Amino acid sequence: MEIVWQTPANPPERHDFIFVNGRRHVRPYYFEFISHVKNRWAGKTIVDLFAEEFKGRPYDYYVSSVKCGRIQVDGQIVPVSYIVQSSQKISHFVHRHEPPVMALDVSILQKELDVLTVCKPASVPVHPCGQYRKNTVVGILQAEHGLAPLFPVHRLDRLVSGLLILARSASKADLFRQQIEAGMVQKQYIAKVIGIFPEDEQVVNVNVNYNAREGRSTVEVGNSCHNTPLKGKVACTKFTRVNTNGTHSLVLCEPITGRTHQVRKFTGCGGNIMSP
């Protein structure tokens, strides 16, 4: 049977998905990851480049991948000592097994000429990233509704559900982003926390340090006794208790800034945020 390689140009299709026990699975497929050598990559060996820039796999994997041709430069098999040059095309051929997500529909709430508003289910990332390509909001909408191209105006973390706005043109997406940066758009989240959240409004100011490579964040609180600069970006969120049953509390979260993982990492206000 001939192996058919997919590339980013191949759109997700409805038959790519399988539903089992409440989960949405993607049929495994062969995929060509394509990238072009950046200036800061030039001068490195092909193996060192991958080991330093793509740390999700061990060094030995990249050595064997170059030797057997799963990693190629400009369509050619090269030795492990090969020195890459700026703008060269690098292909990494893999057999992809995307993680499953919850088998929930991406509900379309409003469909306009330039804007699409949907309800994003929990567990589904917004757009292709990491191990996910087809099992994403953008991929599902393209496969099941033929909606493409789509440009996410903002993002919600993979584990978060809620309202998601997608532009249907790059120019409309830029307009929305300008409005967000100008503070013309406000976001609100509802979080469930353990314990009795304080009744009075809480405002939290910390620094969020997001590690994109690991997909994790840490927070730091300023200390006037030390002059050591804080890592990450300044982040501020306002919390207001909606109600409590004595065991858990529902809390309204209003981010003043917009940092990755900002709401979920602010856990020092009377409870641990479980599912914003």
What residues are labeled active site? 157
> Please, how many CA atoms are within 13 Å of residue 254, restricted to the half-sphere of its CB?
12
Q: What is the rounded CA–CA span in Å between residue 273 and residue 263? A: 8
Q: Residue 132 gets which letter from DSSP?
A: B
How many C-beta neighbours within 10 Å does residue 174 have?
A: 13
Structure tokens at 156: 């919600």
> What's at 7, amino acid-wise?
T
Q: What is the dihedral of CA 232, 181, 125, 52, to 10 degrees?
A: -40
3-state class of 245 per DSSP?
coil
* CB burial readout 199-215, b (16+ within 10 A) else e: eeebebebbbbbeeeee
Q: Residue 14 gets which letter from DSSP?
A: G
Closest CA to 80 of 100, 94, 60: 60
3-state class of 3 per DSSP?
coil
